[in-house]
Amino acid sequence: MSLGGTDLNLMIALKALLEEGNVTRAGAKIGKSQPAMSTALARLRRHYRDELLVRVGRDYELTPFAKALVPSVQQTLRAVELALDTGRRFDPASSRHTFQINATDYVITVLAEPLLRRIAAVAPGIRLDFEAIPDDMHHSEHHLRNIDALIGPVGFGFPGSQEPLFRDRFVCVVDPGNSRLLAGRLTLDDLAALPHAVRSSGGTHVGPTERVMDELSVRRHVQVVTVGFLPLPFLIRGTDLVAAIPERLAQRVAVPLGLTVVEPPFGRVELIESLWWHPARAATAEHAWLRRTLTEAAAALPPVAADAPPPPVAMVTP
């Protein structure tokens, strides 16, 4: 297909090459063989009089000219797609669409139930593919272009468009036989004395509860570090470990695991989960439906406890 003398198939190949930065991966993305993509790359090099991709070791890198091309190529093809899709409706009741979503284990645990209930009722053919958030997600929009949405905590600097999805707050969970648990409460001195199980925040990022405890001069002894929040409560039973986890997660696991949920002596610390997406996806009917459905599912989550009176605090001595 051509438009004004431009081969749109070649433009599609160009977009894949620029986004993937690799001939083989670009071909796999658009269903073309490596020889076909190599031929397309040769034509594009002649057209632009630029190498576009250059070998660096065993991989490729975009030339400065190619990097400058990325936004205009994406916008042009998105405009073409929207023009060709004019009048096409998205019918969730009959759709077999697959949405790819990156999310934390905590988000999947608390949001999946209301989300799947809504989808089963109005869009039974829709499929959701949940994957973990890549470690380098905050460095560029490259990965975000290839998924429908990311749900993660505010403060990590993820790229793209975003809007808050839901809020939670942190509570502490301990074994009911914990040696420092008195009348269902813990103090700051207790948090300094007990071993902690914590979620790794990755890199140099400091989590909100860790930041607050540092400000209160609580010197924690971290004994266990996990990738996400979900494993933490499973480590607590039968030990003296303490963990700070979101309240909605605690609501799901405390009773079956036989744990005690404790008001945190460091006060109310909120966790805000947001929805991120690449701006190029925003204009499609199916993506608008996905964002609306996620927002409705989040609104159906059980409430977290209202602000409680602060428990007695024993300040940590230097």
Q: What are the tens digits of pLDDT across the range 34-45?
A: 888 889 999 999
Quote the CA–CA distance of 99 and 147 in Å, as a whole number.
8
Q: What are the tens digits of pLDDT across the range 203-230?
A: 556 788 989 999 999 999 999 999 899 9
Q: Which two tokens stand for residue 241?
A: 């470990």
Residues 6+ apart with CB under 8 A from 206: 214
Q: Using the predicted structure, report yes or no on whether residue 271 has a pLDDT greater than 50.
A: yes
Do 100 and 129 contact (CB within 8 A), yes or no?
yes
Q: What are the tens digits of pLDDT across the range 53-62?
A: 888 877 788 8
Beta strands at 270-277 and 195-199: parallel, antiparallel or unpaired: unpaired
Secondary structure class of 26 (helix, strand, coil): helix
The residue with greater pLDDT, 316 or 262, is: 262
DSSP letter, residue 151? E
Which CA distances in Å does 48 have to 37, 51, 63, 170, 210? 16, 8, 12, 54, 52
Quote the CA–CA distance of 105 and 198 in Å, as a whole number.
14
The whole-number pLDDT of residue 233 equals 96
Treating both helix axes as pointing N-terminal to C-terminal, what angle do 8-20 and 64-84 enclose, rounded to 10 degrees?
A: 130
Give mean pLDDT, residues 276-296: 88
Domain 95-318 has CATH 3.40.190.290: yes
Q: Using the predicted structure, report yes or no on whether residue 64 has a pLDDT greater than 80.
A: yes
Q: Using the predicted structure, report yes or no on whether residue 77 has a pLDDT greater than 90.
A: no
Burial per residue of 87-120, b for 16 or more beta-carbon CB atoms within 10 angstroms, e otherwise: eeebebeebeeebebbbbbbbbbbbeebbeebbe
Other Cβ atoms within 10 Å of 213 Cβ, number: 23
Classify domain 2-84 by CATH architecture. Answer: Orthogonal Bundle (1.10)
Quote the CA–CA distance of 84 and 223 in Å, as a whole number.
57
Q: Using the predicted structure, report yes or no on whether residue 118 has a pLDDT greater than 70.
A: yes
Residues 6+ apart with CB under 8 A from 67: none
Q: How confident is the model at residue 85 (pLDDT cuts 50, 70, 90)?
A: low
The whole-number pLDDT of residue 234 equals 95
Q: Using the predicted structure, report yes or no on whether residue 309 has a pLDDT greater than 50.
A: no
In terms of phi and psi (left: phi > 0; alpha: psi -120 to 50; beta: otherwise), the region of 31 is left
DSSP letter, residue 237? T
Q: How confident is the model at residue 138 (pLDDT cuts 50, 70, 90)?
A: low
The whole-number pLDDT of residue 27 equals 84
Beta strands at 127-131 and 195-199: parallel, antiparallel or unpaired: unpaired
Q: Kindly list the domain boundaries of the chain, sorted by start residue.
A: 2-84, 95-318
CB half-sphere exposure, 156, CA atoms < 13 A: 29
